[in-house]
Amino acid sequence: MGKASRDKRDIYYRKAKEEGWRARSAFKLLQIDEEFNIFEGVKHVVDLCAAPGSWSQVLSRKLYLPAKLSTDSKDQDLPLIVAIDLQPMAPIEGVIQVQGDITNARTAEVVIRHFDGCKADLVVCDGAPDVTGLHDMDEFVQSQLILAGLTIVTHILKNGGKFIAKIFRGKDTSLLYCQLKLFFTEVTLAKPKSSRNSSIEAFAVCENYSPPEGFSEKDLHRLLEKVGTPSGADDLGISFLTIFILHARTILTNTL
Ligand SMILES: C[S@@+](CC[C@H](N)C(=O)[O-])C[C@H]1O[C@@H](n2cnc3c(N)ncnc32)[C@H](O)[C@@H]1O
């Protein structure tokens, strides 16, 4: 069966059309929220890799529009939602859009500037590379997106904040889990029912941001700058792992 006819038989595809979501992915975020209550108390959010915009629509409908409709809400109290993607997307009420590559340190700086010193409560990242079918390569590129997301997280997420990131399940999933555990006290791998069983995607739901003592967000930022240069790409794996291993050691030394 072709992709188009498979899509038309898909319940979430049809539901998305009926409810005016730009993509069926909206249900993944809605179902993650049903399970983990990720929107509670959230006022400042970043949506990384947001196009065509169904997650941003969820953020707008769940956070921005209710606040706007509440009679006593002043402009400065309205939620701040910043969405970023390589692709342009049609406007969504209450969502500030930035077009750029999240693995580029300059783009991360633009997002950070929108926050103007205040912190985000939630960062979501549904980023996916153009899948090549070469599993190791796809997993590697996906891990670069997670690293970029984590870099932005370390600059703008408040302590106690949440990070939701799409991952590709593979041989390095437990390593990734341990790496995320260095920054968050709770990490759960979720597979919402709207995520197709045939897909290797899952979502890391990271709660209670608490970076290791002595961690400087500049470490990851420098790494991202390095990834942006052709010679830096070669040692990405080593540098990424080195940073995490050093911090893992610090944590282990402190707890033993
Ligand atoms: C699965 S789609 C996101 C769907 C979106 N969450 C929604 O609900 O509409 C993945 C997106 O990741 C974006 N992307 C991939 N690599 C990126 C990068 N390096 N920087 C910014 N966006 C990127 C792609 O352009 C694509 O729009």
- Condensed to tens digits (0 to 9), the pLDDT of residues 29-50 reads 999 999 999 999 999 999 999 9
Ligand 1 atom closest to Cα of residue 52: 9
State whether the beta carbon of 86 lies less than 6 angstroms from ligand 1: yes
**58-88, pLDDT tens digit by residue?**
999 999 999 998 866 666 689 999 999 999 9
CB of 85 closer than 6 angstroms to any ligand 1 atom? yes
> 76 lies in a domain?
yes
Domain that holds residue 163: 3-212
238 belongs to a structural domain: no
Longest alpha-carbon distance in the chain: 56
Mean pLDDT (whole number) for 201-220: 88
Is the ipTM, as predicted for this complex, more than 0.85?
Answer: yes
In a domain, 69, yes or no: yes
What total of structural domains would you count in the chain? Answer: 1
> What was the pLDDT predicted at 67?
94
**Residue 225 within any structural domain of the chain:** no
For residue 81, being part of any structural domain is answered with yes
Nearest-angstrom CA–CA distance, 256 and 253: 5
CATH classification at residue 27: 3.40.50.150
Q: Based on the residue annotation, tell me whether 166 is a catalytic residue of this protein.
A: yes
The residue among 250 and 117 whose pLDDT is bigger is 117
CA distance 226 to 237: 12
Asked, for residue 149, whether it belongs to a domain, the answer is yes
Whether residue 235 is predicted with pLDDT greater than 50 in this model: the reply is no
CA distance 158 to 144: 22
Spatial separation of the C-alpha atoms in residues 147 and 141, rounded to whole Å: 10
* Bridge partners of residue 83, in order along the sequence: 47, 97
Q: Is the CB of 50 under 6 A from ligand 1?
A: yes
